[in-house]
Each structure stands twice: as C-alpha cells, then as structure tokens.
Amino acid sequence: MTVVALTSARGAPGTTTTALVATLTWPRPVLLVEADVSGSSSVKAGHLRGEYDHRRNLITMALAHRNGAMTLESLRHETIPLTEDRSRLVLPGLATRAQTGSLSDGFWSSLSVLFAGLGRQGVDVIVDAGRYGMRHGPDPLLRAADLLAVVSRTGLDDLVSVRANVDQLPGAETDAAAQRRGLVLVGAGRPHRAAEAAAATTLPVWASMAWDPVAADRLNGHDRVRTGLTRLSRSRLLRSGRDAVSELLAACERRRQWLEGPADRAVEVRSG
C-alpha cells in the first residue's frame, strides 16, 4: 500500500491537476481523496463536469464519523469512478467551504486508518490536501502519508514561499532524514530548474509535471474526457504524469528500504 499526500505552500500551483493526473496514470487501483478545505470539489465540478450525484462527498463521511458509522463500506459508497473499469476512484471534497467545521482532527485520523484497510484490498491512496496550514485542514493525513509532496511552480516567489513554510510541515524535525518530504515541480525550467529549486527550498525534487495549460483545461472540464483519455494520452501533461508517478513510487521504495535498514534508524524515526 502507498499513500501519497500532495500539498502546497501558497496559491494554486496545480496541486489538484497534479493529483488528478497522478490518479489517472497510477499503475494500480487507487483512490483520490479531495481533502482541500478551501472550497468545492474541483474534480466533481471540473473533470466530471457536474454530472455525478452531488450528495457523494467528504462531508457525508464526516457525518458518518460523528455517528460512529464510518467504515470501508461507507467510504466506498461515497466514491465516484474516474475510469470505466472502476480501478480509479475519487472521494469528492466539500460542497462549500462553510462545511469545514465538521472536519475535525479525529475525523481525518479515522480516515487515515481506513486507508490501511484499503491497502489490504490492494488500493493505494492519493490525497489532494490543498494549501498547507488551512483551518480544519487534513494535517493528520499529511502525518500518516508515506510521502508528503509539496507541489510548486518554479518562480522565485514560489520557491521562497516553500522555503519559508517547509519547517512547518508535519514531522519537519525528522522527515528530511526519513526521506518522506520532497517537491513535485510544475513547469521545471520556467524559469528555474530542478537543481535550483532543490537548493532554494532544501527539499529534494522527486518529480516534475509539464507546463501544459491546454491539456490541463481539457482534463478539468473543457472537454468530455471522463470515459476515455485517448485524446489526452499523448499530451505533455499525461506523459509527464506517468513519469512523475514512476518517480514518486521510486521515492516511496527508497523510503521503505531506508526504514528497513539498521535498527537505530527505525528507532530514530519512531522517536521523532
């Protein structure tokens, strides 16, 4: 099982599009969780073009948690298929920002426990956590993830913002050593390259997504592409997504090998 959480330090660098592309190009069954508390479900309104049951969303899971009825079955009931074979699912986000008060740390922690159950069923999880530091945000999901990827563009102001906030990310005291935090760049070389981004932010660059606004617009609702991605499969966006997924899985494997190393390393991570 692999859980990858995507977050950002500022604005809208492309976290949701990156999470959606990663989900659609993931090599195994996977669930995308829209955990961004800043507003309504981008995937449901965009990629799904508002054509699915609006009642299926994160807030229904929060109500189930409040009533002690949050289970794997209830989680699956709230998901929507992103592909016809149902190997890629999404748990849509909030309907409105006004609903954030129902999202407690206890809810997020219980949701992370359910991810382990999905893992036993062979399902990985990608979390779109939105901007880090939001009130009622999914911090427990970030702490529980195998990888915590900060999505950023490569402008100087973007990289400075990441550097200013990197020490506030969950587990900052130990995660650098545990290889759990890294960057996913959107538009590497526009203007700064990966090596420059890593030096500026102190985070390793795990992967890069192509700057392809035309394909991103089509993916996010401009075209009806939910039932098939043939028209986009050769786009720079989807091709870079497949490469990024491979790099993220490789980063996860490196972390697992690190954790399975000498016993003193495991003790160091647990104590952190």
195-222, pLDDT tens digit by residue? 999 999 999 999 999 999 999 988 887 6
Instruction: Give the count of alpha carbons within 13 A of 128, CB side only.
Output: 30
The pTM is what?
0.91
Model confidence at 22: pLDDT above 90: yes
Question: What is the rounded CA–CA span in Å between residue 169 and residue 132?
Answer: 8
Name the token pair of 256: 């697992």
Residue with tokens 């016993």: 263
pLDDT of res. 176: 63
pLDDT of res. 225: 53
Per cent of the chain over pLDDT 90 is: 66
Name the token pair of 162: 């990441």
Which of 172, 176, 130, 125 has its CA nearest to residue 151? 130
pLDDT of res. 230: 67
pLDDT of res. 83: 87
CB atoms inside a 10 Å sphere around CB 253: 12
Name the token pair of 37: 């508390």
13 preceded by a cis bond (ω within 30 of 0): no
| 3-271 CATH fold | Rossmann fold (3.40.50)
The three-state DSSP-derived secondary structure of 163-223 is HHHHHHCCCCCCHHHHCCEEEEEEEEEEECCHHHHHHHHCCCEEEEECCCHHHHHHHHHHC
Look up residue 20 and give its amino acid. L
Question: What is the rounded CA–CA span in Å between residue 47 and residue 225?
Answer: 8
Q: At what angle do helices 58-66 and 105-120 cross, to 10 degrees?
A: 100
Question: What is the rounded CA–CA span in Å between residue 268 and residue 272?
Answer: 6
Query: φ and ψ at 44, to 5 degrees?
Result: -65, -45
162-198, pLDDT tens digit by residue? 999 998 988 766 666 678 999 999 999 999 999 999 9
Model confidence at 98: pLDDT above 90: no
SS3 (DSSP) at 153: strand
Q: Residue 130 in contact with residue 137, Cβ under 8 Å?
A: yes
- Please state the rounded mean pLDDT for residues 15-34: 96
Question: What is the rounded CA–CA span in Å between residue 105 and residue 107?
Answer: 5
Give the chain's mean pLDDT. 88
CB atoms inside a 10 Å sphere around CB 32: 26
Q: Predicted confidence band at 251 (pLDDT cuts at 50, 70, 90)? A: very high
CB atoms inside a 10 Å sphere around CB 69: 11
Q: Residue 102 in contact with residue 63, Cβ under 8 Å?
A: yes
Question: What is the rounded CA–CA span in Å between residue 121 and residue 149?
Answer: 24
Higher per-residue pLDDT: 185 or 229: 185
Q: Predicted confidence band at 43 (pLDDT cuts at 50, 70, 90)? A: confident
Model confidence at 263: pLDDT above 60: no
pLDDT of res. 223: 62
Model confidence at 84: pLDDT above 50: yes
pLDDT of res. 218: 87
pLDDT of res. 177: 62
131-165, pLDDT tens digit by residue? 998 999 999 999 999 999 999 999 999 999 999 99
